[in-house]
Amino acid sequence: MNRVKTFAKYAIWIILFWIFSDFLINMAIMTTYKSIDRIGIEPSGVTVSQMQATAVNGRAKILITDSSLSGKYIKLNLYSDIENNLGTQYIEIGNIAPGETKEIDTYFKIAQVKKYDISIEDTAGESTEGFMDTAMSAITLFISAIQLLFVL
């Protein structure tokens, strides 16, 4: 019985340490994101609520409020500090009902992004590499690690 109690204590300490370290790691990562500057003006009906980047990656949160933009594309250009185009992404807006707000999240793995430009296009062009649809969440990483353990 004494061994079970000792094992339970160790298990609780490991779980608490894991939660605490995960919290500290996430806080450290969140503080490395810095807002980046916009070039030009935002199109009407489009609001960029979050556009942040680190030295190696970044994220964008775009709100669409105008139903006349249904079926069009958002063109997102990313630039360096001397305005060299580092990447372009075309994001399909889809259908928006009148009075509805649509939130679009995108992530990119492009280094040294300092500025961005956003516009509305009728057709999609060629997107460059480095953009992702979703970020790797902690749950996704945990499931991937478990699947890797079963394979090995």
Q: Which has the minimum average pLDDT: 74-78, 97-101, 115-119, 137-141?
A: 137-141
Give residue 77's pLDDT. 92
What is the per-residue pLDDT for 26? 80
Please tell me the distance from the alpha carbon of residue 77 to that of residue 57, in angstroms, as a whole number.
14
pLDDT at 51 (0 to 100) = 92
Instruction: Please write the tens of the pLDDT for every residue from 100-127.
Output: 888 988 888 888 999 999 999 888 888 8
- What are the CA-CA distances from residue 68 to residues 44, 46, 106 (Å)? 10, 11, 22
**E runs forming strands in the chain:** 34-35, 37-38, 46-53, 58-64, 73-79, 85-92, 102-108, 115-121, 131-132
Rounded to the nearest integer, the mean pLDDT of the chain is 85
